[in-house]
Amino acid sequence: MELRDWQKQLKDKVINAVKEGFLVALNSPTGSGKTLFSLLIGLNTKGRVIFVVRTHNEYFPVYRDVKKIDPSLKFSFVIGKPSACPFATKDVDTEDINCKYCEIKNAIEVKIDKSPFEKLKELKENAIKEGFCPYYSLLESAKEADIITITYPYFFIEKYLSLLDINLEEYFIVIDEAHNIDRVSEIEERTLSEFILSMAIKQSKSEEVRRILDRLIKELKTLTYQDEKYIKLDKVPELSDEELSLLVDEYEELRKEAIKSKSVSRIYLGSVIRFYATYSTGNFIPFSFSNKIVLKTLELNQYYNLLNDENLSILLMSGTLPPKEYLEKVLGISRKILYIDVEKEVKKKVTGSYQCKIAIDVTSKYDLRSEAMWKKYSSYLLKIYYQARNHVLAVFPSYQIMEKVMSYVNVNKILENEGTRIDDVIKIVKESRQKYIIAGVGRGKITEGVEITDNDRSLISDVVLVGVPYPPEDDYMKLLSKKISEKLGGKEKEYLIMIPALITVKQAIGRSIRNINDTALVWLLDKRYDSLWWKKNLNCFNSTKIRL
Q: Point out which residues bind ligand SF4 (CB under 6 A).
A: 81, 85-87, 97, 99, 102, 104-105, 133, 135-136, 259
Spatial separation of the C-alpha atoms in residues 361 and 515, rounded to whole Å: 33
Rounded to a whole number of angstroms, the minimum distance from the CB of residue 321 to ligand SF4 is 35
Is the CB of 49 or the CB of 138 nearer to ligand SF4? 138
331 contacts: CB under 8 Å, gap ≥ 6:
181, 182, 300, 304, 307
What number of residues does the chain have? 548
Nearer to ligand SF4, 81 or 511 (CB): 81
Q: Work out how close the CB of 257 gets to ligand SF4 at its nearest, in angstroms, rounded to a whole number.
A: 13
Closer residue to ligand SF4 (CB): 97 or 148: 97
Q: How far apart are CA 191 and CA 288, in angstroms?
A: 10
Which residue from 514, 517, 543 is spatially nearest to 530, judged by alpha carbons? Answer: 543
Nearest to 178 by CA among 58, 296, 20: 58
**Closest separation in Å from C-beta 85 to ligand SF4:** 3
Q: Which is nearer to ligand SF4, 133 or 178 (CB)?
A: 133
**Cα 526 to Cα 362: distance, rounded to the nearest angstrom:** 5
Strand partners, 173: 50, 314
Q: Which helix (H) or strand (E) holds 356?
A: strand 353-359
Select 165 or 186, whichever has its Cβ closest to ligand SF4.
165
Minimum CB separation of residue 106 from ligand SF4 in Å reads 8
Which amino acid is it at 110?
Answer: V
d(CA 362, CA 397): 14
Query: With respect to ligand SF4, which residue has the nearer C-beta, 93 or 451?
Result: 93
Cα 103 off chain centre by: 34
Cβ 98 to ligand SF4 shortest distance, Å: 7
Closest approach, Cβ 91 to ligand SF4, in A, equals 15
Distance in angstroms (rounded) separating the CA atoms of residues 161 and 374: 46
Q: How far is the CB of 264 from ligand SF4 (least distance, A)?
A: 7
Element (H, E) at 543: none
- Distance in angstroms (rounded) separating the CA atoms of residues 130 and 126: 6
Looking at residue 447, the DSSP 8-state letter turns out to be: H
Three-state SS letters, 183-215 = HHHHHHCEEECHHHHHHHHHHCCCHHHHHHHHH
Nearer to ligand SF4, 81 or 179 (CB): 81
Shorter beta-carbon distance to ligand SF4: residue 68 or 105: 105
Going along 473-526, which residue ranges are E strands?
519-525
Residues 6+ apart with CB under 8 A from 192: 216, 220, 236, 237, 271, 272, 275, 292, 293
The smaller minimum CB distance to ligand SF4, of residues 77 and 326, is found at: 77
Are 461 and 512 within 8 A, CB to CB? yes
Cα 281 to Cα 185: distance, rounded to the nearest angstrom = 15
Q: How far apart are CB 43 and ligand SF4 at their closest, in Å?
A: 32
Q: What distance in Å separates the CA atoms of residue 406 and residue 524, rounded to the nearest whole number? A: 17
In the complex with ligand SF4, the residue whose CB is nearer, 61 or 86, is 86
In the complex, minimum distance from the CB of residue 115 to ligand SF4, in angstroms, rounded to a whole number? 22
Shorter beta-carbon distance to ligand SF4: residue 104 or 213: 104
| Least distance to ligand SF4, CB of residue 245, Å | 25
Q: In the beta sheet, which residues pair with residue 457?
A: 454
In whole angstroms, the minimum distance from the beta carbon of 100 to ligand SF4 comes to 9
